[in-house]
């Protein structure tokens, strides 16, 4: 990867997206300095209020499998471990999140969510910064499989999986269950009691 050349392209892309009406730019490349480069490009082009939601801690996870299968997007050679994080490493995640906040990220994100609840919780406690979590395809597949086995009601399993992410500290949850959660309407209570 040519980090510097990529940062220039990311800056141009961010401006193009903002010009097209995007309110939030969400870089997922895990490139060194990506948030600073994007923030600089946006501000230079009068988009200082455009939000940056950075994929700050993106793990090299097996949980992307169902999406990659469906989208036929598995790497044709090598893997993505050169820029995604080692699942065993929590210290690097906190360093990356801290750097993204310093560079101007408005929201930081951990991806995947359920296997990395400890990272979400540590980051929220350490930084008190707006936190997002991405519940990826493998997580949704596990909930679906469990519910379809008859061992749990689907709605209860979906709610519990999302509540776990919320309880860990995520302010925003990106999930395959969004439409379903919204349709639950007044039955959806993901706010937490004080002190939780």
Q: Assess contact for 112 and 57: CB atoms under 8 A.
A: no
Q: In this predicted model, what pLDDT tens digit does every residue of 174-185 receive, in sequence order?
A: 998 998 888 876
pLDDT given at position 186: 47
Tokens standing for residue 165 = 């992410």
pLDDT given at position 190: 59
Q: How far apart are the first and last CA of the chain?
A: 42
- 163 belongs to a structural domain: yes
- 111 belongs to a structural domain: yes
- 98 belongs to a structural domain: yes
Q: In this predicted model, what pLDDT tens digit does every residue of 125-158 receive, in sequence order?
A: 999 999 999 999 899 989 888 888 887 788 889 9
The count of C-alpha atoms lying within 13 angstroms of the C-alpha of 25, restricted to the half-sphere facing its C-beta, is 32
pLDDT given at position 193: 47
Q: Assess contact for 90 and 56: CB atoms under 8 A.
A: no
- 146 belongs to a structural domain: yes
> Which CATH number goes with the domain that contains 108?
3.20.20.70
pLDDT given at position 180: 86
- 172 belongs to a structural domain: yes
Q: Which residues contact 73 (CB under 8 A, 6 or more apart)?
A: 67
- 15 belongs to a structural domain: no
Active site residues: 58, 111
pLDDT given at position 75: 55
- 48 belongs to a structural domain: no
**Residue range(s) defining the domain that contains residue 175:** 57-187
pTM score over 0.75: yes
pLDDT tens-place values along the chain, 196 residues long? 788 999 999 999 999 999 999 999 999 988 999 999 999 999 999 999 999 999 999 998 888 755 455 555 555 544 555 568 999 999 999 999 999 999 999 999 999 999 999 999 999 999 999 999 999 989 998 988 888 888 778 888 999 999 999 999 999 999 989 988 888 764 455 555 444 4
Number of domains in the chain: 1
- 12 belongs to a structural domain: no
């Amino acid at each position: 990867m040519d980090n510097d050349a990529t940062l220039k392209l990311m800056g141009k892309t961010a401006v193009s997206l903002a010009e097209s009406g995007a309110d939030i730019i969400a870089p997922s490349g895990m490139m060194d300095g990506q948030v600073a480069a994007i923030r600089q490009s946006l501000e230079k082009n009068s988009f200082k209020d455009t939000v940056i939601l950075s994929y700050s801690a993106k793990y090299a996870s097996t949980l992307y499998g169902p999406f990659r299968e469906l989208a036929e997007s598995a790497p044709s050679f090598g893997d993505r471990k050169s820029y995604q994080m080692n699942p065993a490493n929590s210290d690097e995640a906190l360093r990356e999140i801290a750097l993204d906040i310093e560079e101007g990220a408005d929201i930081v994100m951990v991806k995947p969510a359920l296997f990395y609840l400890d990272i979400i919780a540590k980051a929220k406690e350490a930084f008190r910064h707006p936190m997002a979590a991405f519940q990826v395809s493998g997580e949704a597949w596990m909930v679906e499989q469990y519910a379809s086995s008859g061992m749990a009601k689907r709605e209860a399993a979906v709610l519990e999986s999302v509540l776990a992410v919320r309880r860990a500290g995520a302010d925003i949850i990106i999930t395959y269950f969004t439409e379903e959660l919204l349709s639950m309407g007044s039955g959806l209570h993901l706010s937490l009691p004080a002190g939780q």
